[in-house]
Amino acid sequence: MSWAAYSDPEALARERREVFERSWHYAGHTGEVEKPGDFVATSAGHAPVALVRGEGGELRAFLNVCRHRGHEVVSGSGNRKTLQCPYHAWTYGLDGALRTAPRSEREHGFDADGISLLPLRVETLGPLIFVNPDADAASLADVLGAVPDKLGDLSGLVFHGRIPYEVEANWKVVMENYLECDHCPVAHPGFSKEVDVDPDSYVLEAAEWTSSQYARSRNGDGRGQFHFVWPSTRINVFARVPNLSIGTAVPLFPARTAGFFDYFFGADVTADEAEELIAFDSQVGSEDRALVESVQRGVGTSLLTEGRLLPESEKLIAHFQALLQSYE
């Protein structure tokens, strides 16, 4: 793929429109919207989203954009019987329907019927909530393929915490860094000390919309698994205590990406065990930040036009690039 694609504003605009607005994105967990009236502001890619638990217990997702002037309707989280935009107080029910619009009674022919927050598709995988802005897209189950079977039963996981991040790199650089471990022996000494990253042991698998990596612990405790879900969700399970982390990536600008990782642990995992694993993962993340920001500076040159992939070791990157090019 041309290196120009990692810094081109037009390429990012096309990716937002053709990829991010037509795909499933991890948006949060069910613990954030447990009771009727619970809501939380989140996103599906760059699209602002409101997750809402309806009066009858239904989980709903709406584009978090008022139908009046475009202000975000909710921020943060809480519990309400209605959703009120803080700009002009247009008020919506938990079903998204417009209830009141101040001064609309002064407007001839104004009809609130049919005006509502834009509903978005929402599906769950255990406690994990995914949202898709595209009503015609394939189901979450079709996109995830065999990943849920690999993850197993998630019902015993308990949310522990969220760690936000921001890096000065294109979202594709971030994803491609995740999709190979060739760099692990050089750039991740702590990870490589614990995980067998030898190419004969480190397993790479590509499916239609996902890519997976499997690696055994050097001490024999088990096998870790690391799953990429198109276009920018990552799910990690380390071969330690019962755990799962899941992260998003949102392209803010051609050379800036933001997101967060949510961490879940088994109910019997101690606070010290959880913090030890998060610290281990954060160290890897810090090392990756330096890598991807350096790559972004490198691909920003016009003196070279492209790199070269290793077809076997970097086949998951090739798969990612092929998916991206299929939208062109």
Tell me whether residue 294 is in a domain. yes
Give the alpha-carbon dihedral of 84, 90, 94, 95, to 10 degrees: -160
Question: How far is 282 from 117, CA to CA, in rounded Å?
Answer: 37
- 319 and 274, same structural domain? yes
- 116 and 193, same structural domain? no
- 104 and 152, same structural domain? no
Query: Three-state secondary structure along 271-290?
Result: HHHHHHHHHHHHHHHHHHHH
Last residue of a domain, one of 92, 110, 136: 136
Q: What is the pLDDT of residues 38-89, one digit of tens each?
A: 999 999 999 999 999 999 999 999 999 999 999 999 999 999 999 999 999 9
- 177 and 117, same structural domain? no
pLDDT of res. 328: 76
In 140-270 the beta strands, taken as DSSP E runs, fall at 157-167, 203-206, 210-216, 223-229, 233-237, 243-247, 250-253, 256-266
Question: How far is 323 from 326, CA to CA, in rounded Å?
Answer: 5
Last residue of a domain, one of 136, 155, 190: 136
Last residue of a domain, one of 76, 110, 136: 136
- 301 and 157, same structural domain? yes
Tell me whether residue 255 is in a domain. yes
How big is the chain, counted in residues? 328
Which CATH number goes with the domain that contains 120? 2.102.10.10
Tell me whether residue 121 is in a domain. yes
Which CATH number goes with the domain that contains 233? 3.90.380.10
Q: Is 316 helix (H, G, I), strand (E, B) or coil?
A: helix
Give the count of domains, the chain.
Answer: 2
- 154 and 70, same structural domain? no
Backbone angles phi, psi at 106, to 5 degrees: -90, -5
- 225 and 149, same structural domain? yes
- 269 and 191, same structural domain? yes
**Average pLDDT, rounded, for the chain:** 97
- 145 and 88, same structural domain? no
pTM for the model stands at 0.96
Q: What is the pLDDT of residues 167-215, one digit of tens each?
A: 999 999 999 999 999 999 999 999 999 999 999 999 999 999 999 999 9
Tell me whether residue 4 is in a domain. no
pLDDT of res. 141: 98
Tell me whether residue 61 is in a domain. yes
- 281 and 237, same structural domain? yes
Q: What is the pLDDT of residues 232-285, one digit of tens each?
A: 999 999 998 999 999 999 999 999 999 999 999 999 999 999 999 999 999 999
Return the percentage of the chain with pLDDT > 70, whole number.
100
pLDDT of res. 220: 85
Neighbouring CB atoms inside 10 A of 169's CB total: 25
Residue 85's domain comprises 32-136
- 246 and 221, same structural domain? yes
Q: Which helix (H) or strand (E) holds 26?
A: strand 25-29
Of 174, 145, 192, residue with least CA distance to 24 = 145
Position 72, amino acid: E
- Lookup: tokens for 117: 């927050």
> Measuring CA to CA, how many Å separate 97 from each of 48, 73, 85, 117?
18, 13, 13, 7
Question: How far is 1 from 321, CA to CA, in rounded Å?
Answer: 7
